Amino acid sequence: MKQFTDRVVVITGAGSGMGRAYALAFARLGAILALNDYHLESLEQTAVLVRDLSHRPLLTSAFDVGNREHMYDFAARVKAELGHAHVVINNAGVSGEGLPSWLLGDDSYERVMQINFFGVVYGTRAFLPQLLANGEGAVVNVSSVFGLVGTPNNSDYCASKFAVRGFTESLMVELEQSPISVHLVHPGGIRTNIASGAAKGEEFTEKYLKTEPDDIVEQVIRCIRSGKQRLVYGHQARRLWLASWAMSLEKRNRVLFREMEDLLDPEHYGVLNDPQGEAGRP
Percent of the chain with pLDDT strictly greater than 90: 85
Residues 134-144 have pLDDT tens digits of 999 999 999 99
- Measure the CA–CA gap between 133 and 160, rounded to whole angstroms: 30
User: Structural domain boundaries of the chain?
Assistant: 8-273
Distance CA 66, CA 71 (A): 8
**pLDDT tens readout for residues 13-45:** 999 999 999 999 999 999 999 999 999 999 999
157 assigned to active site: yes
Whether the CA torsion 18, 19, 20, 23 is positive or negative: it is positive
Q: Of 38, 157, 208, 233, which residue is the catalytic one?
A: 157
Say which residues have a Cβ less than 8 Å from residue 96's Cβ, sequence separation at least 6. Answer: 104, 108, 112, 153, 154, 155, 156, 157, 198
Instruction: Convert the pLDDT of each residue in 218-271 to its tens digit.
Output: 999 999 999 999 999 998 899 999 999 999 999 999 999 999 999 899 999 988
State the pTM of this model. Answer: 0.92
Q: In whole angstroms, what is the distance from residue 231 CA to residue 236 CA? A: 13
In the chain the first and final C-alpha atoms are separated, in Å, by 50
Q: What class does CATH assign to 8-273?
A: alpha beta
| DSSP code, position 4 | -
Report the pLDDT value the prediction gives residue 206, as an integer from 0 to 100: 74
Query: What percent of the chain clears pLDDT 70, i.e. is strictly above it?
Result: 92
